[in-house]
Structure 1
Amino acid sequence: MRALLAFNNTVVELNILEICLLGALVFCFFVQLYFSLFVHLKLALIAIKVIPETKKNPISVVICARNESENLQQFLPSILHQEYPDFEVIVVNDRSWDGTADFLKELEKKYAHLKVVTVADGDKFIAGKKFAVTMGIKAASNEWLVFTDADCEPASSNWLAQMQQPLNDSTEIVLGYSPYFKKPGLLNALIRFETFFTAVNYLSFALKGMPYMGVGRNMAYKKSLFFKNKGFAAHMHIPSGDDDLFVNANANNRNTEIRIHKESHVWSEPKISFLAYLRQKKRHFGAGKLYKPKHKFILSMQIIVQFLFYAFIITLLFFPATLYISLGIFALSILIRSFVYPRLLKRLNYGGLSWWFPVLDIILFVFLVLNGILSIFVKKVEWK
């Protein structure tokens, strides 16, 4: 079977293999466009609301720290000095030996709204960070809990005002955004770009009424929701997932909102070595295996379609009859995506990466494939 295709005033004859490959490429192209134009573009165009001045309910900020003395000294003051009338900061010291306990003890004397919870060596049923988070939640005096990490710094003193409990009482979860600080080098650019795409995905799907994850560096939920659904009981056996698995299990289209105002962002320290970053992504990959089936299907399809898109492009380059057609589809894909994602990069505080979007997009794809392969063989992961 052969087919004739008119292209640039030239009739091109295609065989059955070329037709199938080209058809598959076009299919991947349209699936790719669906996510770009009908999921992610909404996040780029939605108006960012300023949280109105309302009755500010009390907040409990929960931070877990394991050997984080230096980070706590650098970043904890910006959390303790938030412009919010009624809040407490709970720091859970999880078996640290680097002077964290001494620093927190001195800080408690200075700040009445700082509460320190200590997880001692030998405590039973310890399961990494989830045990520490649970201890922090139990110690919280307030219903609305805001979470961040020891190596994080709020973008403004109005962070808590932006992450406060919404007026709509049916909202039980608020998903925030946490970019990484800019550092020199390609690794940092890759980390920031990967974080950007992860955020675009989970925030966009939340807007569409299908929230599937959040990041513990910047999120909030009700204390009653945690205990009503037995906390982390369903996945206490794995070291990761205190944030994304909890959201995946408990968020829905009625009880979840997002916050992307610049004052609601929380900046975080990135990994500085490729091996450390790989271990971090391994933990995240392991948690993803426990997502709801529909979420795993959609996320897997995104990666598979992206992989097949590039695979078909490369394959069709070896067929003279489809060379220019495949290059044209690739160029059109980059053009459309370059209309969507640079806008989002600017909106999410990564405007400097806009010019590097096409290159970083390909590098990120290669890294995700590599990470997926390594995750098959490397089983052991730890919090710290």
Structure 2
Amino acid sequence: MSTLLLITFLLIAAVNLTYFISYFSFASSKYVAPSPSETSVSVIICCKNEAQNLNSFLPSILEQDHPNFEVILINDASLDETLEVMEKFKEIDPRIKIVDVKNNEAFWANKKYALTLGIKRAKYAHLLFTDADCAPQSKSWVSEMCRNLQQEKTIVLGYGGYVKNKSSFLNKLIRFETLLTAIQYFSYAKMGSPYMGVGRNLAYTSTLFFEQNGFANHLHLRSGDDDLFVNEAATKTNTAICDYPSAITRSVPKNSLKDWIKQKRRHVSTAKAYKKKHQFLLSLFYFSQVLFWILPVAILFTENWQILATIFSTVLLVKAILYYKSAAKLDEKDVVWLFPILELFLVFAQLGIFIANIISKPTHWK
């Protein structure tokens, strides 16, 4: 029995190791910036009850050094003073356009409906998306992201990180999960099979949006305005990644485990609409992660413990190198030192989220 368990663990470890070795396609790559471009850009921010965040973070968008851009602010039927804050900023900056969306019976509380109205209002063909609680980490964010929209590249995947709180374990967990997700979607894009992006830092062209009929194929799903659109529209040739430090955005993470789990339940619920090959590959990776941490418990006190320890340590070493190299690129190095604990916690948190989503549907878009 112990031999069978060891063989099973060997297979699982091999699968897990294969994934992490493949992720070096991103971790070991060097970012080569395209030639500077002064193309005109429409920055689009969809807001629902974001009055406070707009006051805090919108100035960092307006202070961008890019020579020609507009800011489309979408008020998605907010109940707070979001619209008033937008109008205040518009009075002092003519680059701002406001799209005031009222609840529509057919598209009640559907962010994709609001985003579509904002995209139709955009003056320029190059669209750059972020959230109301996000702050670019430099004044060249717009330029760095959109310089990649050249020739056949019509989608640019950026990194949307979170503000650091080094004294908070939850903060480290959230940033570790965000780092791992970025490693995956950047790596898949590098390997020619892009599958998702994050709306906190994502660019694409309006031409591509309308060629795809916008969000029509997944409009019935309230989440997924970012990852489902990319999953549907991205190809080996039309997608670029931008992991340059000055192109990073950061937002304020959830400060309670309950709120974070609620957020992740929404995100995870869209994966069932991914292309089948991506569903399979991501599911296989997750289950290899679960079993990589569970099986050693059953083998540890057998005569095979030394073989187990050697294999387990080897895989952990590869993971540590991968996480460190990726974290160095994305300025998240402080989470690397806790990665075994964070990974273990994340694996079982995701299992709980998966089970919770089977039992009941998650809530959506505020």
TM range (shorter): over 0.9
The superposition leaves residues 293-318 of structure 1 with CA deviations (integer Å, 9 ceiling, x where unpaired) of 00000000001111122222111124
2:179 to 196, 203, 219: 196
Which of 245, 260, 284 pairs up with 1:277?
260
Decide which of 193, 196, 201 is 1:218's aligned counterpart: 201
The amino acid of 2:217's aligned partner reads A
Structure 2 equivalent of residue 261 of structure 1: 244
In 2: Cα distance, 1:228 partner to 1:378 partner: 35
Picking from 124, 148, 151, the partner of 1:166 is 148
Q: Is the 8 A contact 2:149 2:155 kept in 1?
A: no
CA distance in 1, matches of 2:61, 2:3: 59
CA contact (8 A) 2:269 2:362 kept: no
Deviation at 1:213, TM superposition (A): 0.2
145-154 or 160-169: bigger deviation? 160-169
**What amino acid is the match of 2:299?**
L
Q: What is residue 2 of structure 2 aligned with on the other side?
A: 18
Structure 2: distance between partners of 1:279 and 1:195: 15
Shift of 1:215: 0.1
For 1:299, the equivalent position in structure 2 comes to: 282
Residue 153 of structure 1 is aligned with which of 101, 123, 135?
Answer: 135
Tell me the secondary structure at the aligned position of residue 289 of structure 1.
Answer: helix
Distance in 2, Cα, partners of 1:265 & 1:51 = 17
1:130 maps onto 2:122 in alignment? no
User: How far 1:52 sits from its partner (Å)?
Assistant: 2.8
Of 221, 240, 258, the residue aligned with 1:238 is 221
Amino acid at match of 1:118: D
The equivalent residue for 1:34 is 18
The reply to whether residue 361 of structure 1 matches residue 339 of structure 2 is no
Q: Whole-Å Cα distance in 1 between the matches of residues 329 and 196 of structure 2?
A: 20
User: Quick one: distance in 2 between partners of 1:261 and 1:308?
Assistant: 34
The answer as to whether partners of 2:73 and 2:118 remain within 8 angstroms in 1 is yes
For residues 206-238 of structure 1, the C-alpha deviation after alignment (integer angstroms, 9 at most, x for no partner) is: 000000000000000010111111111111111
**Aligned-partner residue type, residue 76 of structure 1:** L
Return the match for 1:181 from 163, 166, 183: 163
Contact 1:127 1:236 in 2 (8 A): no
Q: CA deviation at 1:383?
A: 0.6
* Distance of 1:76 and 1:43 partners within structure 2: 31
Aligned partner of 1:344 in structure 2 is: 326
Aligned identity (percent) is 39
Using the alignment, how far apart are the partners of 2:70 and 2:90 within structure 1?
A: 12
- Structure 1 unaligned regions, length at least 5: 1-16
SS at structure 1 position matched to 2:73 = strand
Q: 1:375 to 1:124 in 2, by over 3 A?
A: closer
Distance 1:86 1:158 in 2: 12
What CA distance in whole angstroms lies between the structure 2 residues aligned with 1:316 and 1:242? 44
**Offset of residue 167 of structure 1:** 6.2
Q: Residues 153 and 239 of structure 2 are in contact (CA less than 8 Å); yes or no, is this contact kept in structure 1? A: yes
The code of the aligned residue for 1:315 comes to A
Answer whether contact 1:28 1:305 (CA < 8 A) is retained. Answer: yes
> Once superposed, what is the RMSD of the aligned Cα atoms?
1.4
Q: CA separation in 1, counterparts of 2:148 and 2:304?
A: 54
Range with greater deviation from structure 2 (345-354 or 212-221): 345-354
C-alpha separation between the residues in 1 aligned to 2:147 and 2:363?
A: 34
Per the TM alignment, residue 124 of structure 1 is displaced from its structure 2 partner at its CA by 4.6
Equivalent residue number for residue 5 of structure 1: none
The TM-score with structure 1 as length reference comes to 0.92
Structure number with greater CO (CA < 8 Å, separation at least 6) is: 2
Q: Can you list the C-alpha shifts for 1:297-341, whole angstroms capped at 9, x where unaligned?
A: 00000011111222221111242x112221222122112211221
SS at match of 1:356: helix
For 1:330, the equivalent position in structure 2 comes to 312
The alignment's TM-score, normalised by the length of structure 2, stands at: 0.96
Count of residue correspondences: 365
Q: Any conservation in 2 of the 1:175–1:257 contact (CA below 8 Å)?
A: yes
Pairwise CA distance, 1:127: 4.7
- Deviation of the 1:28 alpha carbon: 1.2
Aligned to 1:286: 269
Alignment partner of 2:66 out of 76, 81, 84: 84
- Are 2:245 and 1:251 equivalent residues in the alignment? no
How big is the shift at 1:73? 0.4
Gaps of 5+ in 2: none
User: Equivalent residue of 2:90, what SS?
Assistant: helix
Indicate the structure (1 or 2) with the bigger Cα radius of gyration: 1
Distance 1:224 1:24 in 2: 49
Moved more, 67-76 or 162-171: 162-171
C-alpha contact 1:155 1:265 (8 A) present in aligned 2: yes
Q: Which residue of the partner structure matches residue 97 of structure 1?
A: 79
Instruction: Pick one of 110, 125, 136 that aligns with 2:92.
Output: 110
Q: Equivalents in 2 of 1:145, 1:168: separation in Å?
A: 13
Take 2:321 and 2:262, find their aligned partners in 1: how far apart are those partners? 33
